[in-house]
């Protein structure tokens, strides 16, 4: 009888435990044993409140709205440039190819080059160049011949004077040339030393009587060979020496381009502007003013900077501007 009572007790205990297990499982979550996959599942319900967002000060919001305000540019009077987004960018940072090219004044271009040098930590005494494209057309399908010119710059940037060689057989002219700073003076006896590279100069000046005697130097000197168009064939030796000892020479390259140095970047902005003005005035004097502006495009740059396009109208003197018009 004891064994029978113990078995009955154990069966009752197992029944109670199994009933409690079923209640715990049903209370803890849904049972999936007898539920099909197509039946809707119960979603969890949030029993806590969301944190309330803090309101920002009205002053901070007003400042942000002021910063977001974009610059309004009035371009109603002119059409949008072909293939570009607009004439002028609205933001400070933009992609260059989407907007029209910005052309600065000459004074602003010089200031920009000086700022670039400080930001890039490049040499302060680097050269400043200009690149001009000229309109060489004349009336009746004629063109301006490519020319070479020497200009007196108001503020020379070279530390040494140019070497000038004078061809003359006149003893009086030879003495005068030596007294006025000619590096070499002589006649036909200078031909062989020049061919042998024993003598070289920046400019070669000759009197008209010597042209036929120095023909063997034509292939050697090439562009430096004395020519009347360049002013290197003259009887006025004093004027020639005064010009070529301190003058700056430039020439037209590739039919219509002038590429030359005008100053060094460590010079004051006023001196760079004055040298630029002297060269542009001389360039524009090579074409009749009645045909319109001679310079089609002008670029300024230093040895390490990017190219800056600038307007030449503000550089030319008032007399030259009225002539150009």
Give the model confidence (pLDDT) of 208-225 as tens digits.
999 999 999 999 998 899
Angstrom distance (rounded) from CA 318 to CA 291:
17
Give pLDDT, residue 63.
61
CA 313 to each of CA 275, 289, 298: distance values in angstroms, whole numbers, following the listed order: 15, 14, 11
pLDDT at 319: 47
> Phi-psi bin for 40: left (phi > 0), alpha (psi -120 to 50), beta?
beta
Query: Does 291 share its domain with 234?
Result: no
122-145 burial, b at 16+ Cβ within 10 Å, e below that, comes to eeeebebbbebebbbeeeeeeebe
pLDDT digits (tens, 9 = 90+) for 238-268: 899 989 998 899 999 988 999 999 999 999 9
Which pLDDT score is estimated for 160?
A: 87
Query: Confidence class of residue 34 from pLDDT cuts 50, 70 and 90?
Result: very low
- Tell me the per-residue pLDDT of 141-193, one tens digit each, with 9 for 90 and over: 888 888 889 999 999 998 888 999 999 998 899 999 999 889 999 999 999 99
Residues 271 and 140 in one domain: yes
Q: Are 285 and 224 members of one domain? A: no
pLDDT > 90? residue 108: yes
Indicate whether 142 and 169 sit together in one domain.
no
Number of domains the chain is built from: 2
Q: Which of 196, 219, 246 is the last residue of a domain?
A: 246
**Separation CA 214–CA 200 (nearest Å):** 15
Say which CATH number the domain at 262 has.
Answer: 3.30.190.20
Per DSSP, the residues of 155-167 read: S---SSPPPEEEE
Q: Kindly indicate the confidence band of residue 99, based on its pLDDT and cuts at 50, 70 and 90.
A: confident
- Answer yes or no: do 111 and 173 share one domain: no
Which residue in 252, 301, 239 sits closest to 110, CA to CA? Answer: 301
Residue 46 lies inside a defined structural domain of this protein: no
Percent of the chain with pLDDT over 70: 75
Do residues 310 and 145 make contact, with C-beta atoms less than 8 angstroms apart?
no
Q: Which of 246, 266, 293 is the last residue of a domain?
A: 246
- 266 and 138 inside one domain: yes
In this prediction, residues 52-79 reach a mean pLDDT of 60
Identify whether 157 is part of a domain: no
Which one is predicted more confidently, 104 or 56?
A: 104
To which H or E segment does residue 129 belong?
Answer: strand 127-134
What pLDDT, on the 0 to 100 scale, is given for residue 114? 94
Same domain, 168 and 211: yes
**Would you say residue 132 has pLDDT above 70?**
yes
Q: Are 243 and 156 in contact (CB under 8 A)?
A: no
Q: Which range is most confident: 97-106, 126-135, 290-299?
A: 126-135
- Does 91 map to a domain? no
Residues 203 and 242 both lie in one domain: yes
Which one-letter DSSP state was computed for residue 197? T
Query: pTM (2 decimals)?
Result: 0.67
Predicted pLDDT of residue 322:
47
In a domain, 94, yes or no: no
Q: Check whether 231 has a pLDDT greater than 90.
A: no
pLDDT, position 266: 94
- Of 80, 129, 167, which is closest to residue 259 (Cα–Cα)? 129
Is residue 306 pLDDT above 80, yes or no? yes
| Confidence (pLDDT) at 287 | 87
Quote the tokens at residue 215. 């023909």
Q: Please, what is the average pLDDT of the chain?
A: 81
Cβ contact 256:133 at 8 Å: yes
CATH of residue 223: 3.40.50.790
Residue 297 is assigned to a structural domain of this protein: yes
Q: Give residue 233's pLDDT.
A: 92
DSSP letters for 229-275: TTT-B-S-HHHHHHHHHH-EEEEEETTTEEEEEEEETTS-HHHHHHH
Please work out, in degrees rounded to the nearest 5, the angle formed at the alpha carbon of residue 256 by the alpha carbons of 254 and 261.
85
- For residues 139 and 264, state if they share a domain: yes
Q: Which residue has the higher pLDDT, 298 or 100?
A: 298
Structural domain containing residue 180: 164-246
**Domain presence at residue 111:** yes
pLDDT at 198 over 50: yes
End-to-end Cα spacing for the chain: 136
Domain boundary, last residue among 229, 246, 263? 246
241 shares a domain with 177? yes
Radius of gyration of the chain (CA): 43
Q: Which of 228, 29, 81 is nearest to 148 (CA)?
A: 228
Q: Examine residue 97 and state whether it is found in any structural domain, yes or no.
A: no
């Amino acid at each position: 009888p004891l064994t029978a009572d113990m078995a009955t007790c154990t069966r009752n205990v197992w029944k109670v435990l199994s009933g409690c297990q079923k209640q715990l499982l049903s209370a803890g979550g849904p049972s999936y044993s007898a539920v099909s996959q197509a039946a809707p599942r119960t979603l969890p319900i949030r029993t806590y409140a969301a944190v309330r967002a803090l309101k920002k000060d009205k002053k901070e919001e007003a400042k942000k709205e002021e910063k977001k305000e974009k610059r309004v540019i009035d371009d109603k009077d002119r059409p949008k440039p072909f293939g570009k987004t607009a004439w002028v960018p609205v933001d400070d940072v933009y992609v260059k190819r989407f907007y029209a090219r910005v052309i600065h004044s000459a004074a602003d271009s010089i200031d920009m080059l000086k700022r670039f040098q400080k930001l890039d930590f490049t040499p302060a005494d680097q050269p400043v160049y200009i690149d001009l494209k000229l309109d060489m057309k004349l009336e009746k399908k004629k063109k301006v011949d490519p020319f070479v010119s020497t200009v007196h710059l108001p503020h020379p940037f070279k530390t040494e004077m140019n070497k000038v060689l004078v061809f003359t057989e006149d003893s009086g002219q030879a003495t005068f040339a030596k007294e006025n700073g000619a590096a070499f003076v002589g006649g036909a006896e200078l031909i062989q030393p020049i061919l042998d590279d024993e003598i070289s100069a920046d400019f070669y000046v000759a009197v008209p009587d010597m042209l036929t005697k120095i023909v063997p130097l034509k292939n050697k000197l090439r562009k430096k060979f004395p020519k009347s168009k360049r002013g290197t064939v003259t009887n006025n030796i004093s004027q020639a020496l005064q010009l070529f000892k301190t003058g700056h020479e430039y020439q037209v390259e590739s039919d219509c381009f002038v590429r030359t140095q005008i100053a060094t970047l460590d010079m004051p902005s006023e001196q760079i502007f004055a040298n630029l003005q002297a060269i542009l005035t001389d360039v524009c004097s090579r074409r009749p003013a009645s045909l319109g502006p001679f310079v089609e495009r002008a670029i300024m740059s230093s040895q390490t900077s990017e190219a800056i396009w600038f307007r030449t109208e503000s550089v030319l003197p008032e007399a030259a501007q009225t002539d150009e018009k």
